Amino acid sequence: MINKINERVKDINVPGIRVFANQVAQYSDGINLTIGEPDFHTPDNVKKAGIEAIQQNKTGYSHNAGLFELREAVSNFFADRYSLTYDPETEIIITNGASGGIDSILRTILTEGDEVILTAPIYSGYDPIIHLCGAKAVYLDTTETEFIPDPSKLEELINDRTKAVIFNYPSNPTGMTLSKEQMDDIVSVLKKHEIFVISDEIYSENTFGKKHVSFASYEEIRHKLFLVHGVSKSHAMTGWRVGFVLSPKELMLEVLKVNLSNSICASLPSQYAAIEALNNSRDNPEEMNKSYVERRDYVNDRLVELGFQIKKPTGAFYLFPSIEHTGLTSYEFATQLLEQEHVAVVPGSAFTTFGEGYIRISYANSMENLEKAMDRIEKFMENLKVS
């Protein structure tokens, strides 16, 4: 029956992130620097809210758009944090993680032959959905501009088939953030074209040294913008699967139809936990960020000492060093490092062909493990030079 399977599904491969994350598990002393997941625990008060929801038998369906109390909490959060106004009644949908929100958005707007512009290197989760919709991903190369989109190059890629542009800042995999001035230049291009803007800002609470600026703060593109967010990264709630999409009413009415057809609603106990996270644990990311900065600086400095070229990240929890000086492809580097030193990193090629020549290291890990991992990478580099 395999010949009856959708050919587009056959075209999709298991992401490189998961390939190496799965392989490192075979080593008892393996160190996994692949997964983009906080190594912190969900705050106790948030866990308690989820537990109490279960104990009180709040385990059924919610409104398809999510609990109104949670949508209200999301609305208040964005108003207080980023001065953004979204109506909890009509402009916010709770989804199964940010990934669920992105899936619903893309299946709502895309038709056969459409094109979606992605800044590259970029997270590997967008392209498969675009492909399944019969659309095509078109990449905006940022490797020549320190991983920041060049507005003129963006303009060149927009044509009659362009349906949307996706931005993911702070960036996975590069850790780069956008300044207000850089965003101004990008928006000056976006406002001229009738295309959707999808801004995946799941890492907005994980920025270092400067406050995050949302694309939603630009009124001239608000009518065509989907803001995607969630509590996975900010509150160490990846497994709770709570995301949210914010957009104008007329767009959300359509997205809701797709989202409810796919999942009906997000997990009810998880929604109650998210209410607690947004209402009473807003400072949680700041505590995690203190550790992230310490870890980032340590790993960054060790890599520089070993001869790696790297643009120091200002957000998320990833480093994206160049490995071109080793003479290895990113897949070869990651494979040999795993086999020889039992340290798992992600080949840059997992983030489109524009990521070739780099590796991604997640420093969302304990300092103890990061120290061990860097010692092993140093040993690997020494052996590589000998060979």
pLDDT of residue 22: 74
C-beta atoms surrounding 130 within 10 Å: 22
Instruction: Give the Cα separation of 353 and 345 in Å (integer).
Output: 17
Instruction: Give the Cα separation of 73 and 248 in Å (integer).
Output: 18
Domain boundary among 280, 302, 336: 280
Work out the widest C-alpha separation in the chain, in whole angstroms: 64
How far is CA 378 from each of CA 98, 129, 304, 367, rounded to the nearest angstrom? 36, 38, 11, 16
Q: Are residues 360 and 267 in the same domain?
A: no
Q: Are residues 31 and 67 in the same domain?
A: no
Instruction: Give the Cα separation of 140 and 143 in Å (integer).
Output: 9
Provide DSSP, 3-24. Answer: GGS-HHHHT----HHHHHHHHH
Instruction: Give the Cα separation of 382 and 85 in Å (integer).
Output: 54
Bond prior to 43 in cis (omega within 30° of 0): no
**181 exposure class (CB count in 10 Å sphere: 0-12, 13-18, 19+):** exposed
How far is CA 91 from each of CA 126, 219, 274, rounded to the nearest angstrom? 23, 15, 18
Q: Residue 184 — φ and ψ, nearest 5°?
A: -55, -45
Contact 82, 75 (CB under 8 A): no
pLDDT of residue 23: 78
Domain boundary among 262, 280, 298: 280
CB neighbours of 145 closer than 8 A, spacing ≥ 6? none
Q: Is the pLDDT assigned to residue 14 strictly greater than 70? A: no
Tokens 């993680």 locate to 97
Which helix or strand (DSSP H or E) is residue 346 part of? strand 346-347
Bond prior to 170 in cis (omega within 30° of 0): yes
**Domain-located, residue 53:** no
Q: Are residues 228 and 176 in the same domain?
A: yes
Q: Is the pLDDT assigned to residue 357 strictly greater than 80? A: yes
| Residue with more model confidence, 25 or 327 | 327
**Domain-located, residue 47:** no
Provide DSSP, 166-211. Answer: EE-SS-TTT-----HHHHHHHHHHHTTS--EEEEE-TTTT-BSSS-
pLDDT of residue 17: 60
Q: Is the pLDDT assigned to residue 372 strictly greater than 90? A: yes
Tokens 């060790």 locate to 302
**Domain-located, residue 148:** yes
Q: Are residues 10 and 142 in the same domain?
A: no
**Domain-located, residue 48:** no
**Domain-located, residue 377:** yes
**Domain-located, residue 54:** no
SS3 344: strand
Q: Are residues 37 and 165 in the same domain?
A: no
pLDDT of residue 21: 65
* CATH number reported for the structural domain that contains residue 219 in this entry: 3.40.640.10
Contact 332, 344 (CB under 8 A): no
- Identify the domain containing residue 358 by its residue range: 2-42+284-386
42 DSSP assignment: P
**What number is the average pLDDT over the span 246-272?**
97
Q: Mean pLDDT across the chain, nearest whole number?
A: 95
Q: Are residues 15 and 114 in the same domain?
A: no
Instruction: Give the Cα separation of 272 and 237 in Å (integer).
Output: 13
* CATH number reported for the structural domain that contains residue 337 in this entry: 3.90.1150.10
Instruction: Give the Cα separation of 288 and 269 in Å (integer).
Output: 24
Q: Are residues 243 and 321 in the same domain?
A: no
Categorize the per-residue pLDDT at 386 as very low, low, confident or very high, splitting at 50, 70 and 90: very low
Categorize the per-residue pLDDT at 374 as very low, low, confident or very high, splitting at 50, 70 and 90: very high
Q: Are residues 254 and 274 in the same domain?
A: yes
| Residue with more model confidence, 384 or 84 | 84
**Domain-located, residue 366:** yes
Contact 319, 171 (CB under 8 A): no
Domain boundary among 258, 280, 302: 280
Q: Are residues 36 and 66 in the same domain?
A: no
Q: Is the pLDDT assigned to residue 387 strictly greater than 50? A: no
Q: Where are the alpha helices (DSSP H) in the chain?
A: 7-10, 16-24, 44-55, 68-82, 97-109, 126-132, 151-157, 180-190, 249-263, 268-280, 284-305, 330-341, 367-386
Instruction: Provide the whole-model pTM.
Output: 0.95
Q: Are residues 297 and 262 in the same domain?
A: no
**Domain-located, residue 97:** yes
**What number is the average pLDDT over the span 50-64?**
98
Question: pLDDT tens, 155-201?
Answer: 999 999 999 999 999 999 999 999 999 999 999 999 999 999 999 99
Q: Are residues 251 and 291 in the same domain?
A: no
Contact 93, 259 (CB under 8 A): yes
Q: Are residues 332 and 353 in the same domain?
A: yes
Q: Is the pLDDT assigned to residue 256 strictly greater than 80? A: yes
At 157, list the tokens.
């890629």
Contact 77, 214 (CB under 8 A): no
Q: Is the pLDDT assigned to residue 10 strictly greater than 80? A: no
Task: Look at residues 185, 270, 190 and name the one whose alpha carbon lies nearest to residue 231.
Answer: 270
The number of folded domains in the chain is 2
pLDDT of residue 11: 73
